[in-house]
Amino acid sequence: GAGVSQSPRYKVAKRGQDVALRCDPISGHVSLFWYQQALGQGPEFLTYFQNEAQLDKSGLPSDRFFAERPEGSVSTLKIQRTQQEDSAVYLCASSPGQGPGEQYFGPGTRLTVT
Amino acid sequence: GENVEQHPSTLSVQEGDSAVIKCTYSDSASNYFPWYKQELGKRPQLIIDIRSNVGEKKDQRIAVTLNKTAKHFSLHITETQPEDSAVYFCAASVEDSSYKLIFGSGTRLLVRP
């Protein structure tokens, strides 16, 4: 079946622009996570949704970052007024239920801020 | 909060040899420990995981061991093959509202043919 998909795969933004990154999780998956992966580093948690509820946004680095999942399926991560330090790969992951278990990752969106 | 340390950062082995990657974690409440393999430019993919009520798990050439008392866990790959070359990440799942994963910094494994 279809895995987690993300779009766009690559995004170049000028400093100060707003960007929106989309995640399509596996159909029926309750949990959805966003991670940020800097070059040569492990993924770092940004935020978590259980269905449409954003239960944890402790990893969002600033109030320029905003995420939503209004209907409990597709999610969008928005970054306002992008800065060079926002350059990274943004990974989305989903899992079938709540609680610990395998997270299925998307291919990521590579964001480059110039 | 949870912190996961991983070493070595790079590991080079001859094809057929074994590879061992080690991780330690800080939060004794963590109860799920997956290992992900990430090839260059690709998504992380789960290769094996272990829960805190188990000490060891094997899947063909891959095994993971967990020592809850010492708060460390290890990945063992036997009979390594060139296609095992990739970056490997350990992670720990925090028992809070999200069960988010806290990742180690990764180990770049190179298997020399």
From the CA of B80, how many Å to the nearest CA of chain A? 23
Contact: B43, A56; criterion CB under 8 Å: no
pLDDT score recorded for residue A1: 59
| pLDDT by position in tens, chain A (length 114) | 589 999 999 999 999 999 999 999 999 999 999 999 999 999 999 999 999 999 999 999 999 999 999 999 999 999 999 999 999 999 999 999 888 889 999 999 999 999
Q: Which of residues 60-89 of A touch B (CB under 8 A)?
A: none
List, as one string, the DSSP characters of B13-68. EETTS-EEEEEEES-TT--EEEEEEE-TTS--EEEEEEETT-SEEEETTEEEEEET
- At residue B82, the 3 state secondary structure works out as helix
| Span B20-29, pLDDT tens digits | 999 999 999 8
Only one residue has tokens 């010492």, namely: B70
Residue B47 contacts A where some CB pair is shorter than 8 Å: no
pLDDT score recorded for residue A97: 87
Contact: B101, A45; criterion CB under 8 Å: yes
Contact: B100, A45; criterion CB under 8 Å: yes
Instruction: Choose the mutation target among A98, A103, A109 for the interface with B, i.e. most B CBs under 10 Å.
Output: A103
State which residue of chain B sits closest to A6, comparing Cα positions. B43
